[in-house]
Amino acid sequence: MPGGPVTYSVRGQQYVAVGIGWGGAFPGMFADGAVLAGYTNPSRIAVWRLDGQGKLPPPALRNAHVAPPPMTAPIERVMLGVTLFATHCGFCHGPGFGGKQDLDTMAPEIHENFSAVVLGGRVNAGMPSFHEQLKADDVQAIHDFLIMQATMRKARESGVPQQPTEAQR
């Protein structure tokens, strides 16, 4: 739970609202370990009326049909990507990529333009530029890590284990 509950009243009915999901005072802490463990972040706001009988709906399904690009990066570069992701990306995108943009199911055009998005930013969508903090090789390492994560998730969902490529051995 990222913060304390809030109570309010509308036309004499009292409600309690609470944020659910990763975050709170330390949203980036332990992000790299949680990401590697495969945790997701179905963040949402839950609201209850004090005399209500409703049930909390399940989180929305993720866009699981998007296939990630093939994993070809050496494991050393992927591990560098883990550290860089935790340092520069985890605050917004958090463990399991449940932040402002779901990085686990990126569309092919996002993969194709990943470096331009990270280094140039998309300010109108809330994504700052990281051109002063990261080099092109750093961005590639982060992208390789995200591809590995998406591939691992796809394997877990399908039940088919993925074999490492020759470059990853």
Per the CB < 8 A criterion, the answer to whether 139 and 114 are in contact is yes
Q: Identify the pLDDT of residue 36.
A: 47
For residues 86 and 146, what is the distance between their CA atoms, to the nearest angstrom? 12
pTM above 0.95, yes or no: no
Report the range of poorest mean pLDDT among 5-9, 89-93, 96-100, 154-158: 96-100
- pLDDT tens readout for residues 86-109: 999 987 886 554 455 667 778 888
Could you tell me the domains of the chain?
Answer: 6-49 (no CATH), 75-168 (1.10.760.10)
Q: Identify the pLDDT of residue 57.
A: 74
**Whether the predicted pLDDT of 21 surpasses 90:** no
- pLDDT tens readout for residues 119-128: 999 888 788 9
Check residue 88 and report its DSSP letter.
Answer: I
Q: Both tokens of residue 55?
A: 């049930």
Q: Identify the pLDDT of residue 23.
A: 54
